[in-house]
C-alpha cells in the first residue's frame, strides 16, 4: 500500500534521530574508526533482515532500527575525518564526507529505482544491506592496515629516539 510508505520513511528518520541522540550521550571507549565499522555492520545486517519483514508494520519497525545506525555513522564519519586530517585540511575532509554521503545516496537511489520492480523486495533489501556490509568490511580492513602502519611508525620512532 503506497499510503504506508511515508510511515516507513518516517520510521527510518525517527530511528536516525534517536540513534543520534543516544550516540551523543555515550562515552565511547573505542576509536572512531572502529565505531564507524561497527555502525556500518549493524546497519547492513538490519537492512538485510528488513527484507524478511512479513508486513509493512514489521518493516516499519525494522527501518526504525536501521535508522538508529544512520546518524551515529554520519556523526562518526565527520569525527573521524576531523581527527584524521591536519588542522588546515579539516574543512576539505568534511567536504569529502559530504561528497561520499551524497554520492552513496544518489547511487543507492538510482540502483534501487532500477532494481525495485525487477527483483524480489527481500533481495533488494539484502543488496542494500550487503552494500553497507561491504563498505564496513572494507573500512575494517583499512583500519587494520592503518593501525599496523601507525604502530610500525611509532615503533620506529621509539627505536630512533
First to last CA, the chain: 68
Question: Per-residue pLDDT tens for 102-141?
Answer: 999 999 999 989 998 899 999 999 999 999 999 998 887 7
Question: Per-residue pLDDT tens for 87-103?
Answer: 999 999 999 999 999 99
Residue with cell 561497527: 38
Residue with cell 530511528: 15
pTM listed for this prediction: 0.82
- How many Å is the maximal CA-CA distance in the chain? 68
Amino acid at each position: 500500500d503506497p499510503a504506508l510508505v511515508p510511515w516507513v520513511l518516517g520510521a527510518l528518520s525517527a530511528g536516525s534521530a534517536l540513534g543520534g541522540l543516544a550516540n551523543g550521550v555515550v562515552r565511547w571507549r573505542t576509536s572512531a574508526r572502529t565505531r564507524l565499522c561497527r555502525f556500518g555492520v549493524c546497519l547492513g545486517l538490519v537492512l538485510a533482515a528488513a527484507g524478511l519483514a512479513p508486513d509493512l508494520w514489521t518493516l516499519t519497525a525494522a527501518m526504525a532500527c536501521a535508522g538508529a545506525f544512520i546518524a551515529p555513522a554520519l556523526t562518526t564519519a565527520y569525527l573521524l575525518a576531523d581527527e584524521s586530517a591536519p588542522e588546515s585540511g579539516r574543512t576539505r575532509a568534511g567536504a569529502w564526507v559530504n561528497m561520499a554521503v551524497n554520492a552513496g545516496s544518489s547511487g543507492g537511489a538510482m540502483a534501487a529505482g532500477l532494481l525495485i520492480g525487477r527483483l524480489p523486495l527481500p533481495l533488494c533489501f539484502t543488496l542494500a544491506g550487503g552494500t553497507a556490509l561491504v563498505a564496513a568490511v572494507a573500512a575494517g580492513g583499512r583500519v587494520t592496515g592503518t593501525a599496523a602502519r601507525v604502530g610500525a611508525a611509532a615503533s620506529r620512532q621509539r627505536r630512533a629516539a
